Amino acid sequence: MSLKGLEAQRNTPLNTKLKEIFWGAWCMQTNWNYERQMNTAYMYAMSHTIDRLYPEEDEIEKKKEAYRRHLEFFNITPQCAALTLGISAAMEEEYAADPENFDPAVINSVKVALMGPLSGIGDSLFQGTIRIIAMSIGISLAQQGNILGPILAALISIFTSAPITWYLGKLGYTRGQEFVRQMSESNLMEKVMFVCSIAGLFVIGGMSATLSNLTTPLAFGESFVLQNVIDGILPKAIPLGMTWLMYYIVKSGKVKPMTVIIGCFIAGIILNYFGILAA
């Protein structure tokens, strides 16, 4: 067993490795499949490290084994993949340095252990909070015909996603499992979820009051205009009611999304025709 590969890996500049991890993470969904989800993408992201570690002809079995290791089932929020990729790279390096005492099965069990919690945190941060904030600002400006809306939405998305991916990769590679330990000790996940759920829900509340306006044209004579009565008590009461009606439809889990969408169009045509609701 030559140490040439290990030397090559150690002599590769940190930034090169971090760039590989960064792009590997962003390319997590190149071949998303029902069988093992993001497995080939994980293998691709790890291939740079593995190729460096096992350069010799006689190490091909080791190399195959490492490739196979990273072809196992994997699924995560792409940005968060940087953290596991960093940890995996550091662990592959450790294993190559000390194949006698290091059990390679640990590499995969760390991946599997991190997958669930990191996806939960990643989806609520990127899809549930950052995207919602970026897009709701974007929509409200675009509705006024202002191109700044989409531009701001794009900038917010890029300048959160890129640095977070980069630093997660760096943390994973340089601090490895120690970081995971610290993360669980300091309740980091719980804290991020706490902040995300407050900011996210606050914005969703604001969204349901501002972005899509439903009013009622119902009136009895000129003296009783229903919308005026509603506005006097709780403006946007109809949007609020509609949000919770939909919430119970979603929660019941009985109706398929496509059915709801088509149902909304039919309901829209009927309610509009009889003058019950207006947008």
Concatenated DSSP letters for 81-112?
Answer: HHHHHHHHHHHHHHHHH-TTT--THHHHHHHH
Minimum CB separation from other proteins for residue 252, in Å? 10
Interface residue with other proteins, options 7, 16, 212, 224 (CB under 8 A): 212
Helix (H) or strand (E) holding 32: none
Q: Which pairs from 256-263 meet CB under 8 Å and 24+ separation?
A: none
x/- string (CB under 8 A) for other proteins, residues 46-85? Answer: -x---x--------x--xx--xx--x---x--xx------
- Name the residue nearer to other proteins (CB basis): 148 or 219: 148
Minimum CB separation from other proteins for residue 101, in Å? 26
- Name which of residues 1 to 40 contact other proteins (CB under 8 A): 25-37, 39-40
Tokens of 175: 């601090």
Helix (H) or strand (E) holding 79: helix 78-97
- Name the residue nearer to other proteins (CB basis): 3 or 234: 234
The interface region with other proteins, picked from 4-12, 96-104, 110-118, 229-237 by CB under 8 A, is 229-237
Whole-number Å distance between alpha carbons of 111 and 38: 12
Q: Does 259 bind other proteins (CB under 8 A)?
A: no
- Name the residue nearer to other proteins (CB basis): 65 or 98: 65
> Between the CA of residue 32 and those of 37, 194, 256, what are the distances in Å?
5, 30, 23
Q: Does 270 bind other proteins (CB under 8 A)?
A: yes
Q: Does 230 bind other proteins (CB under 8 A)?
A: no
Whole-number Å distance between alpha carbons of 203 and 196: 11
Helix (H) or strand (E) holding 219: strand 219-220
- Name the residue nearer to other proteins (CB basis): 44 or 173: 44
Q: Does 195 bind other proteins (CB under 8 A)?
A: yes
- Name the residue nearer to other proteins (CB basis): 8 or 139: 139
Minimum CB separation from other proteins for residue 277, in Å? 6
Whole-number Å distance between alpha carbons of 64 and 90: 18
SS3 percent helix, strand, coil of the chain, rounded to 5, is 75, 5, 20
- Name which of residues 160 to 189 contact other proteins (CB under 8 A): 161, 165
- Name the residue nearer to other proteins (CB basis): 12 or 215: 215
Concatenated DSSP letters for 159-173?
Answer: HHHHHHHHHHHHHHH
Interface residue with other proteins, options 108, 124, 174, 177 (CB under 8 A): 124
The interface region with other proteins, picked from 83-91, 106-114, 142-150, 171-179 by CB under 8 A, is 142-150
